[in-house]
Amino acid sequence: MHPTQSSQFEHASLKNYLLDHAYDEMFTGLGDLHRHCEPLLEHFSALPSEELQRRKQAADLSFLNQGITFTVYGREEGTEKIFPYDLIPRIITAAEWATVEHGLTQRITALNLFLKDIYNEGRILDDGIVPREVVYSCKHYRRQMMGLQVPRNVYIAVCGTDLIRLENGEFVVLEDNLRVPSGVSYMLTNRRVMKRIFPQLFRSYNVRPIEQYTQLLLGTLRSLAPEGRPEPNIVLLSPGVFNSAYFEHAYLARQMGIELVEGRDLVTHDNVVYMRTTIGLRRVDVIYRRVDDDFIDPLAFRGDSILGVAGLFNAYRAGNVTLANAFGTGVADDKALYAYVPEIIKYYLSEEPVLKNVETYLLTRPKERQHVLQNLDKLVVKAVGESGGYGMLIGPQSTKAQQEEFAQKIEADPRNYIAQPTISFSRAPCLIGDELQPRHVDLRPYVLYGDKVTIVPGGLTRVALNQGSLVVNSSQGGGSKDTWVLSQ
Amino acid sequence: MLSRVADSLYWMSRYLERAEHTTRLLDVNLNLMLDESPISAERRWQRVLQALGKPKNVEWTGEPYALTQTLTFDTENKASILSCIIAARENSRHVREQISTEQWHRLNSLYLQVTRPEIQSQRQSEALVQGMTHPSEFLQSVMEAVHQFQGVTDSTMNHGEGWQFIQVGRYIERACATALLLQAYHVDLWGHPERIVDGNEYLDWMGLLRSATAFEAYCKVYTADLTPDQIFEFLLLDEEFPHSVRFSIDSLQCALEKIQGDSGKVRAETLRRLSGRLQSSLNYSSVDEILSQDVLGYLGGIQAQCRAIHETIYELYVDYSIQAALAG
């Protein structure tokens, strides 16, 4: 990503703001900016540097005191870290959001139909739209789910889809997170801090609120209760304090007023799930689980897991408890399956996808594999079952040795990898030291699917804080910023 | 309330109480040591170890600062102050959504303070061992932090079931610690009634009272005339002093009754019997009676009863069998 055009903006804080061919969330060209960003830039330019630093410190301190942290694995010391926060909000216009909302609604609807189909009749497989072996070879395919009736046919109740913006400003889908997407607590706390630190600026924009998210999530979970449980007992199941997203689990449970439980708090008896309380066992009806399939029931899945609840799957099968998300949803966020999503949308909804996919090479196809192996220095290679920025090769930033290593891995197990062009996704201004500098950003809106599809206007904008970096994951040194969706 | 949450709150509280007690014992004895001949050091520090329940792998090697160092910072030793604070903080981290922000802040700051790298750096440790820096300041700050934590706990947290479990943890730990303390001092103070009182004995008695923050409170009741029987009576049977065994058991019983009120009395029958019996025996005993019998056995009996109460709480509220719960 070398700047093709270096630009000298007038303001001192912008002297190092270089535009390149990537889409810029604030500027349209030298000195020109998107109209909706004018008051924002004006406001920030008017603030003396010390004042800006003071507010930055106030924001950092607020996160620190609230203990808004995530856990970094593989280190003994200092495992709790603050998620870096950028002060400059990212603004999305009402029209842009309308497209995103439409596209995400379409996508989650189709993916739900797809999951129902592959775990029941399998029409899409019979019709050859998606190859059988792609589904059955998925690491997250659960044959135990075959023929099972899921409440309201909702497989995916909570989904976090990662979007990026291409050079022309168009939003495209980078990946779907259908298992246990995280980050929504940062979306909510970012907003809270932002409102406290820049109240005037916030008021001057008509930003659509997001704080209703936890209530909507609770409503979604409630709508999934098993038949005959009008006042369901809903719990959030966390792997526990050592999980990287533990803060989020505690935050959501507290905001929803539901119990935060771990596997050892739950027991099953006669296919009913109970939680252990000081006054005895209390029946559990809906579990918002933040534990992966693999670890959730040692009887049904991985026997060595100590995070789960023995017998949970049978209770689920008996219809006595609902899980959000359902078992086996991971099939649909397998990165190889991702390539088929546009076809899936057309097949079930007879509509053109509103949000496109990023071009994806399937390495099981010899021709595409050949192409990828010859162009490893230009492409991004991802392991299909991994997340969090692990198991990736970013071609242009890799060494020959790394490319060699991936070539061997691909040859050995082509099903396990996909490749995509290195996309120069959009950049937004961030406060780096004293000045504004552009950094790559993505967007993860949170989609809820219960009685209907609900998406709070906004999402988590993640920032690759290292200059030139394309990796935004919190576990890989990324940060975040508040995302404003305008009401008009 | 989730069983696990109740268990974590209980242990958080117990560990902090234990940390405070150990801190005070060290502080008091390091202070008294300065007034005493080296000959009595052996006896004094052996007694400290005994009062702490003879922690595993901790030996008196003749060097008070080295022992202090071990009892304060050695995380190999599960009873060290540092180990207790880490354990308390870990328990609170598991129930962060159940305690108040103020509680979390206070405990987290204490944790950060004692685990600061420079505190444990080699130089600091060596300085402590050689007695170059007096550790009193550090010990004082730990005690203050624990007191603050107790203060914010009482004033910012709902006095519901969770708070009652915190009370239970604190007072069961305190009752045991005071009983153990009296046991450790027994041979020296009550073992030889014919012995003539000298200056050192007075210091020992004062040390015992101070180890339970009881010196000033004792003086208010009995004046500064220290006599072994009155000290014993005060620490064991005083109704109003917060570190006496009787006060601790009264408070424990009170918290347990509140919890039983929430969870139904039938299930708690065994627990009610155990704690009620201990409470009554303390409420209706006289010091002469106790001193005329096997005192060590009596104090050991209190600890055994506390252990039984602890185990019953665990079986009743935390680790009950599913069959029993479904039947109930």
Residue B224's H or E segment, with its range, is none
pLDDT tens per residue, range B10-69 = 999 999 999 999 999 999 998 888 877 777 788 889 999 999 999 988 989 888 888 988
What pLDDT is attached to residue A79? Answer: 56
A261 touches chain B (CB under 8 A): yes
What pLDDT is attached to residue B117? Answer: 63
Contact A261 B2 (CB under 8 A): yes
What pLDDT is attached to residue A185? Answer: 92
Which token pair is A306?
A: 């100590």
What pLDDT is attached to residue A336? Answer: 87
| pLDDT above 60 (res A216) | yes
HEC sequence for chain A: CCCCECCCCCCHHHCCCCECCCCECCEEECCEECHHHHHHHHHHHHCCHHHHHHHHHHHHHHHHHHCCEEECCCCCCCCEEECCEEEEEEEECHHHHHHHHHHHHHHHHHHHHHHHHHCCCCHHHHCCCCCHHHHHCCCCCCHHHCCCCCHHHCCCCEEEEEEEECCCCCEEEEEEECCCCCCHHHHHHHHHHHHHHCHHHHHHCCECCCCCHHHHHHHHHHHCCCCCCCCCCEEEECCCCCCCCHHHHHHHHHHHCCEEECHHHEEEECCEEEEEECCEEEECCEEEECCCHHHHCCCCCCCCCCCCCCCHHHHHHCCCCEEECCCCHHHHHCHHHHCCHHHHHHHHHCCCCCCEECCCEECCCHHHHHHHHHCCCCEEEEECCCCCCCCEEEHHHCCHHHHHHHHHHHHHCHHHEEEEECCCCCEEEEEECCEEEEEEEEEECEEEECCCEEECCCCEEEECCCCCCCCCCHHHCCEEEEEEEECC
Compare CB distances from B317 to A66, A67, A278 and report the shortest one's residue.
Answer: A278
Compare CB distances from B322 to A241, A262, A281 and report the shortest one's residue.
Answer: A281
Give A433 or A208, the one with higher predicted confidence: A208
pLDDT tens per residue, range A98-113 = 999 999 999 999 999 9
CA distance A279 to chain B (A): 5
What pLDDT is attached to residue B126? Answer: 60
| Lowest-confidence pick of A303-312, B84-93, B178-187, B268-277 | A303-312
Q: Which residues of A touch B94 (CB under 8 A)?
A: 240-241
CA distance B83 to chain A (A): 16
CA distance B270 to chain A (A): 15
Percent of chain A at pLDDT exceeding 70 = 92
Which token pair is B75?
A: 């995380």
| pLDDT above 90 (res B135) | no
What pLDDT is attached to residue A394? Answer: 87
CA distance B327 to chain A (A): 10
Q: Which residues of B touch A261 (CB under 8 A)?
A: 2
Could you identify the residue written with the tokens 């060595």?
A: A304
Full DSSP string of B251-318: HHHHHHHHHHHHH-TTTTHHHHHHHHHHHHHHHT--HHHHHTS-HHHHHHHHHHHHHHHHHHHIIIII
pLDDT tens per residue, range A322-375 = 999 999 999 988 888 999 999 999 999 999 999 999 999 988 889 999 999 999
Mean pLDDT, rounded, for A430-455? 92
A281 touches chain B (CB under 8 A): yes
| pLDDT above 60 (res B99) | yes
Which token pair is A100?
A: 């995103």
Contact B94 A240 (CB under 8 A): yes
Give B155's DSSP letter: H
**How much is the pTM?**
0.84
Which token pair is B328?
A: 């109930």
pLDDT tens per residue, range B206-229 = 999 999 999 999 999 998 888 889
Interfacial residues of B (vs A; Cβ cutoff 8 Å): 1-4, 6, 90, 93-94, 96-97, 101, 104-105, 108, 161, 259, 262-264, 267, 317-318, 320, 322, 325-326, 328
Q: Model confidence at A162, in pLDDT bands (50, 70, 90)?
A: very high
Percent of chain B at pLDDT exceeding 70 = 90
Which of A62, A276, A281, A282 has the highest number of chain B CBs within 10 A, making it the mutation to test binding with B?
A: A276
| Lowest-confidence pick of A189-198, A250-259, A477-486, B33-42 | B33-42
A15 touches chain B (CB under 8 A): no
What pLDDT is attached to residue A389? Answer: 64
What pLDDT is attached to residue A52? Answer: 86
B2: helix, coil or strand?
A: strand
| pLDDT above 80 (res A125) | yes
What's the whole-number average pLDDT of chain B?
Answer: 88
Contact B94 A277 (CB under 8 A): no
Q: Model confidence at A4, in pLDDT bands (50, 70, 90)?
A: very low
Compare CB distances from B263 to A241, A260, A279 and report the shortest one's residue.
Answer: A279
| pLDDT above 70 (res B118) | no
Mean pLDDT, rounded, for A192-210? 90
| pLDDT above 70 (res A404) | yes
Q: Model confidence at A319, in pLDDT bands (50, 70, 90)?
A: very high
Pair A418, A360: CB distance under 8 Å: yes
Taking one residue from A and the other from B, the number of pairs with CB-CB distance under 8 angstroms is 59
- Domain ranges, ordered by start, for chain B: 1-157, 159-327
What pLDDT is attached to residue A249? Answer: 93
What's the whole-number average pLDDT of chain A?
Answer: 88
Mean pLDDT, rounded, for B231-250? 96
Q: Which residues of B touch A253 (CB under 8 A)?
A: 97
| pLDDT above 90 (res B151) | yes
Contact A280 B4 (CB under 8 A): no
Which residue of A lies nearest to B265 if distances are taken between CA atoms?
A279
Q: Model confidence at A173, in pLDDT bands (50, 70, 90)?
A: very high
